[in-house]
Structure formats: C-alpha cells, structure tokens
C-alpha cells in the first residue's frame, strides 16, 4: 500500500448516495451515534436527488452540525475533486439500482455506476483518502442453483444493472492493484426496511396491499432471494470501513432465503389479504433464479452476524409504511408505479 495512506485519522466521511434508501440509513446511524468509533466524524452527503433520492430521508439528523448535504452528481469531476480534497474516508452507495429500469434503458446505469465510480476512485486516489468502501451487490455473481457464493466466485451478471455494478467492482479492484488505493468492496443480498423507495418488491407489495390493490408476481414465483435488514447491512459496512483489509471483498447477507411466493404469502398474511390480490405477470427477462452469499469471511475477520430477525424486521417495516403514508404516497404518485 502507498505510504501516503498510512496513519491518517478517520474524521471526515464522504457518503455518496446518502439520501437513498441504504445510504440514508447509514447516515442516520452514523450521525446518530450508532458507530462509536466514528462518534465525532463530520459527514458530507453527496446525492444527485434523482427519483429514488430524497432529502427527507435525512430529516431525523438534518439539524446535526456534523452533517453537510451537497446536491451534486458523482460524475461531476470538479465537484468530486473538491469534496475529496476534504475527505478522509469514502462510503460509496450512489448507484442506479433497479433491474427493471435497467432492462428498459441501460445508459443511465452505465453512466452512474461505471463512470461515476471511476470519477470517485480517481479523485480519491488523487486526494490520498485513507479508505474507500465500494458498496455493491450479490447480483454481480449471477445465479446459483445450490450452495452459496464466496467472494472469489467468478462474476456472471445477467442484467444491465448487475453488469454495470460488476464493472464498477472491477474498477475498484484495479485502483487498489494499480495505485494502492485502500478500497474494500461489499456485496450484499436483498435489503429491506424503512425508507425504501416503493418500486422495490417489499414496499411496493405492502403499499399496494394496504390500498387494496393487486401485486405483480413474476413467473412461477419460485425465484429465491436472501433477505437482509438494512440495519444489519449498514453495520456490516461500518465493520468493513473500520477493519476491512484494502483490496478485499466482503459478502454481507441476512441468512433468510425465501422464494418470492413465500415472501408474498407473508405480506398477504400481514396485511389481511388473500391470493386474489396477486396478479401473475410475465417473468422478467434474464430473471436470476437464486441468490445466496457465503458470509464466512466477514464473520470470521470482522465479527459480523445478522442481528435482525426477519419476522420481527418485516413486522417493523410494515408498521413503518403504515405510519408513514405521507412519505411514500407522493413517491408512488410521482413515479406512476404499477398498482
């Protein structure tokens, strides 16, 4: 590793995409004191506030003197360079992330996820940041019939979204190998929790069912996903930020695998609806059958273990959407989401 990255104090954190679902949860926890090692850190959020970014997600901590919000694009080299010059560590969430949107049009995904990440990495290298955590996804691995992916598994992305994320992962790896930039990559399973934009399956289904609308179930409903509460995910990211080894990849999983049909059954039961509210729809193009990550590495090296029981986490998530209609209803109306 380049000597100029050694021994720096972690005091100023740049969080890209910090007004999105996962990024804002991380910021609320960080500023709120959930991560004692960073209890005095100054936090700068850089977010373009596209359709899924919402400054209201930061309202609980907006008055903190430790938090600064900057509206801007991670592809803006001049802005990024300026911010990076006053940054010690980076946590990079910013991404276009919805598979369906990437299928209908992939250009924005390549621009943000690939070029945007390259812009950040170059600026981080130029500024000599002490740590760069690149937040990625298990979707870069493709689909797995049985067993679980370890971090050294070949990348076989099957959607434009996952291909763009795989590309950004490779750029992050290359900046470590070429320049010594202390980058860690995290790959998470499917997240759920409060403040998730209502195009994703859990908030879409929950809000539709609350309003007596049908929910769309792809294909035979037997695609399998591992569910990870956003709080567990962010704790894992913080562990990697504090103790992850530069150049390494860490899977972060939740340990609850469900078919989409099983998930739908749970949501129907929780909202008092029956299967008449489910509308089978044509399967997604290139729909991955199963995701499953092996979390042995992060557990062994950094002491990670998911703490949020899925049943309890799902119940709390549903309660949050029941109590926060004023947050999600305008978003659904504005985005004209399927109902």
Average pLDDT over residues 202-212: 97
DSSP E strands, 21-160:
42-47, 67-71, 89-92, 131-137
Q: pLDDT tens across 132-166, in order?
A: 999 999 999 999 999 999 999 999 998 888 999 99
Q: Model pTM?
A: 0.93
Considering the chain, tell me which residue range(s) the CATH 3.90.25.10 domain(s) occupy: 201-225+256-287+309-334
Is residue 7 predicted with pLDDT exceeding 90?
A: no
Tell me which fold the domain 10-192+228-252 belongs to: Rossmann fold (3.40.50)
Does pLDDT of 2 surpass 60?
no
Q: Which residues are catalytic?
A: 138-139, 161
Would you state the structure tokens that stand for residue 105, as one six-digit string?
A: 């049009």
- Nearest Cα residue to 99 out of 300, 291, 246: 291
* Residue range(s) occupied by CATH 3.40.50.720 in the chain: 10-192+228-252
Q: 149 to each of 137, 138, 226, how far by Cα in Å?
A: 12, 9, 12
Q: Residue 80 and residue 82: Cα distance in Å, rounded?
A: 5
Per-residue pLDDT, 120: 98
At residue 289 the predicted structure's pLDDT band, cuts being 50, 70 and 90, is: confident
Q: Would you identify the CATH topology of the domain 201-225+256-287+309-334?
A: UDP-galactose 4-epimerase; domain 1 (3.90.25)
Question: pLDDT-derived band of residue 1, with 50, 70 and 90 as boundaries?
Answer: very low
pLDDT at 270 over 50: yes
Cα 280 → chain centroid? 27
Query: Per residue in 52-75, pLDDT tens?
Result: 789 999 999 999 999 999 999 999
Residue by residue, what is the 3-state secondary structure of 151-176? CCCCCCCCCHHHHHHHHHHHHHHHHH
């Amino acid at each position: 590793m380049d000597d100029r990255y050694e021994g720096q104090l972690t005091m100023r954190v740049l969080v890209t995409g910090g007004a999105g679902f996962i990024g804002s949860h991380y910021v609320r926890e960080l500023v709120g004191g959930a991560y004692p090692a960073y209890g005095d850190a100054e936090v700068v959020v850089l977010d373009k506030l596209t359709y899924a970014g919402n400054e209201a997600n930061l309202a609980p901590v907006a008055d903190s003197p430790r938090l600064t919000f900057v509206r801007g694009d991670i592809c803006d080299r001049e802005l990024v360079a300026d911010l990076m010059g006053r940054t010690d560590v980076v946590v990079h969430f910013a991404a276009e992330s919805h598979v369906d949107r990437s299928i209908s049009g992939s250009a924005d995904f390549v621009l943000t996820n690939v070029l945007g990440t390259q812009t950040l990495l170059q600026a981080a290298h130029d500024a000599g940041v002490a740590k760069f955590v690149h937040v990625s996804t298990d979707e870069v691995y493709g689909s797995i019939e049985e067993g679980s992916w370890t971090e050294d598994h070949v990348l076989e992305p099957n959607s434009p979204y996952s291909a763009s994320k795989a590309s950004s992962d490779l750029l992050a790896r290359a900046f470590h190998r070429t320049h010594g930039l202390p980058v860690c990559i995290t790959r998470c399973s499917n997240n759920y929790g409060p403040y998730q934009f209502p195009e994703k399956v859990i908030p879409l289904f929950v809000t539709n069912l609350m309003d007596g609308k049908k929910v769309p179930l792809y294909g035979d409903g037997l695609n399998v996903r591992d569910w990870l509460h956003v709080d567990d995910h962010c704790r894992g990211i913080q562990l990697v930020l504090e103790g992850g080894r530069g150049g390494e990849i860490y899977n972060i999983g939740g340990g609850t695998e469900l078919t989409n049909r099983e998930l739908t059954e749970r949501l129907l039961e929780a909202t008092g609806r029956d299967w008449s509210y489910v509308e089978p729809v044509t399967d997604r193009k290139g729909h991955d059958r199963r995701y499953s990550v092996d979390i042995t590495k992060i557990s062994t090296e950094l002491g990670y273990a998911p703490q949020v029981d899925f049943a309890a986490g799902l119940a709390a998530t549903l309660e949050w959407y029941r109590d926060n209609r004023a947050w999600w209803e305008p978003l659904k109306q504005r985005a004209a989401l399927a109902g």
